[in-house]
Structure 1
Amino acid sequence: MSSVASVGKLSIVIPAYNEGATIGKVLEQIGEVELIGNLTKEIIVVDDCSIDDTAYVVQQYQAAHPDLPLHYYKHTVNEGKGAALHTGIRVATGDYLVVQDADLEYDPAEYNLLLRPVLRGVADVVYGSRFMGGRPHRVLFFWHSIGNRWLTMLTNLFANLNLTDMETCYKLFRRDIVQGLTLTEKRFGFEPEVTLKVARVPHIRIYEVGISYYGRTYAEGKKISWRDGVWAICCIIRYGLLR
């Protein structure tokens, strides 16, 4: 563990749409995490107009943990994951910001892996890669894996980066950097857009660390589809060419 001594705050932005079955567990996991560097936590749940019991589960957890800085926002219409992230990014007040899905595919205990390069003063942005090896990785869809790697390669081509996992949920930013970006993609196009735009920030330092991945199937609630992959290609070309 790093010996870096720091005092600050990590904003954890959770976009959620019909995640009542899992978001309570995610909040419990986040609550149990002890962050390095004496960092405190700010949890921001953005409910993208869920029609299940997501709101109830979050509010019950909030009532049971009144000392935990948990802020709940709800969109009046369903706009998409990217739109929920825009809301969360806008209201965040931490020194650093990390994206957390509400579906148990990623482990909040690994925030410290992402924080370590930033707190050491060598990184401004850290991506958690599912493909770097060394950590648990659920074996799932071959074509999803190929698609993710191809989208990452195409993004690298335009951004002049050597990322291994552009589509990862776990992206940690210095808050001032991500709030300084103009982000427009309201669905899953958020991933290539934010990557291509952050890569153009002068003197930006981007790192990757290996993370675990507990993926789920469509029967278990996975939402991304091949249409989102096609749109991601459009976004890569659009934001890769337009400056």
Structure 2
Amino acid sequence: MFNEINKLSIIVPAYNEEKTILEVITLLEKIKLVNDIEKEIIIIDDHSKDKTAQLVSDYIAKNTDSPLIFFSQVMNQGKGAAIHKGIELASGNIIVIQDADLELVPEEINSLLSLYLKSPNQIVYGSRFLEDKHSKTNFIWHIMGNGFLTKLSNLFSGYRLTDMMTCYKMIPAATLKSLKLKEKRFGFEPEVTMKLSKIKSLKIHEVPITYIARNKEEGKKISWKDGMKVIWCVVRYRFGN
């Protein structure tokens, strides 16, 4: 089983992230993965209105040896849709999702990978709540909002997660590719969690991660309306497909 784990696909959905996209790419490329596992970085631009796509294209042109795959959506569809495309393009044995906004620390992907390698037939989430490693946090949304949504998800999934809405989800590629994912926006998080919970052979674990929150002025995109959609998705995908 261990011999089969030779490549990690890192999917980076991006929308209007011209301020951070190149730094994210640089940090991801610098990471030396545990066990010398190979990596591929898949950037999916969700039809940004700023210079995100151009910056990535220029970077690839100047760095032809970069392990970077780039795809630009022909229209804006949402974070979930960008992840769907990344899953389709991924060639690694394992997939993890990395936001393009630097709210998370790319080097901590190795924390998830180290735990994953102990038992490859599992899922690893990076939790912002296992330890107090977050800053600039909006208390109402992050602590109360995410806490409520995670508890609701646990009620229906049977998991004991502390952070269902986390970006860092490390999942076997074959498993993720087998799921018929539908949600094109932030409903991706509860949908994938609910559908994974139905695969009883898989175990789920969490590791603590660092979180540096952005506010709306800095580009934060999720809103209370998305929170309501998450509630709907938890119920919908617990009892349906």
Question: Considering the TM-score relative to the shorter chain, is it more than 0.5?
Answer: yes
2:237 is equivalent to residue 239 of structure 1:
yes
For each residue in 1:53-105, what CA deviation from the matched residue of structure 2 results, as whole angstroms up to 9, or x when unmatched? 00111112212322122111111111000000000001100011000100000
Deviates more, 1:27-36 or 1:139-148: 139-148
Separation of aligned partners in 1, 2:4 and 2:233: 37
Q: 1:29 — aligned with what?
A: 27
Identity across matched positions, percent: 46
The offset of 1:220, in angstroms, is 0.7
What's 1:15 paired with?
13
Partner of 2:96: 98
**Residue identity matched to 2:23:** K
Q: Is the 8 A contact 2:137 2:212 kept in 1?
A: no
* 1:131 maps onto 2:124 in alignment: no
- Aligned equivalent of 1:214: 212
User: Where does 1:1-243 land on structure 2 (aligned, <5 Å)?
Assistant: 8-121=6-119, 123-133=121-131, 136-144=133-141, 145-242=143-240
Query: Where in structure 2 are there 5+ consecutive unaligned residues?
Result: none
**Kept after mapping to 2: 8 A contact 1:22/1:103:** yes
Give 5+ residue unaligned stretches, structure 1. none
Distance in 2, matches of 1:173 and 1:39, equals 15
Distance in 1, matches of 2:95 and 2:3, equals 19
Q: Pairwise CA RMSD of aligned residues?
A: 1.5
- Aligned residue-pair number: 239
Specify the code of the residue in structure 2 equivalent to 1:12. Answer: I
Contact 2:5 2:94 in 1 (8 A): no
Q: Could you tell me how far apart the structure 2 residues matched to 1:88 and 1:157 are?
A: 29
Structure 2 residue matching 1:162: 3-state secondary structure: coil
Stretches (4+) displaced over 3 A: 4-7
Taking the aligned partners of 2:70 and 2:119, their CA distance within structure 1 comes to 31
Separation (CA, whole Å) in 1 of partners of 2:196 and 2:182: 14
What SS does the aligned partner of 1:152 have? helix
Counterpart residue identity of residue 149, structure 1: G
Counterparts of 2:49 and 2:136, CA distance in 1: 30
TM (normalized to structure 1)? Answer: 0.95
Give yes or no for contact 2:60–2:68 (8 Å, CA) kept in 1: yes
- The CA deviation at 1:6 is 7.8
2: distance between equivalents of 1:35 and 1:5? Answer: 15
Deviates more, 1:125-134 or 1:64-73: 64-73
Question: SS where residue 13 of structure 1 aligns?
Answer: strand
